[in-house]
Amino acid sequence: MARCIRLLISFDGTAYKGWQRQHHAPTIQATLEAGLAHICGHGVTLHGAGRTDAGVHALGMVAHFHTEVSHPLRAFVQGVNSHIPADIRILDATQAHPGFHSRFDAVGKTYRYDLCTGPVQQPTTRLYEAHFPGQLDQRAINACLQHLTGTHDFSSFEAVGSRDPAAGGRGAVRTIHDARFAQTGRNRYSFFFTGDGFLRHMVRNMVGTLILAGRTTISPERFAAILASRDRKQAGPTAPARGLFLETIYYDRNTFHEMINKYAAAPVSDQ
């Protein structure tokens, strides 16, 4: 009987054209499938919890595959890691129940977006944080973030043409349980977004628009109107991919809600 193996994966997305397998382009999925095939001795289809874009990083991507080989779980960590580039690493492997699906069983995700506001960016961070030189109004940004929390139609922050409206389902409606902005160092900041799902480019489009608010180019009231408009043309530019990290994917509802309650109790700085 085939085993369902669940993997916890971290990667630096700089050299890859995103997660999804493509012809004539390096991707995270294809690289991992090649390493898994070497260890399993057969072709492997790896199903990820989401499709990160080119240049986006992950600390906690989850994926699964099926195999009938009886290798110990450490073979899917140490063995595969020895056959793939060092910018991708399997952190853990567990045997899941046969019906587990890394995408459809997920109940929530947390993304982080890192940025630098100093006049000159350290070259060692250029691949892992975006550079937006100049001061940001944190009060204005926090006011905008309050408009994002809750259940909304996020069409204004969805990549144009990324989804077929005729496909049905919940469309562009998503729930953001927590959205916050924090200073992490001198001239360094991070956005954190936790929700039940995210549209293509949604986080990067929200960040690009929030930066406009931080620069007082738009007001929090205008930001709310942009969200309500459901019109991508009204929102700001797409922030660079290099600042985006997929931090955590949640599968246990109790753990997810405990985390949300913890965030809700934490104070938000307006400095």
The sign one gets for the Cα dihedral 149, 208, 188, 91 is positive
The reply to whether 105 belongs to the active site is: no
3-state secondary structure 206-218: HHHHHHHHHCCCC
| Closest to 163 measured CA to CA, from 199, 195, 118 | 199
The packing angle between helices 202-214 and 138-148, to 10°, is 140
The sign one gets for the Cα dihedral 120, 121, 124, 126 is negative
CA atoms of 47 and 42, how far apart (whole Å):
16
DSSP annotation of 15: G
Of 53, 87, 137, 164, the catalytic one is 53
- The residues annotated with a catalytic role in the active site are 53
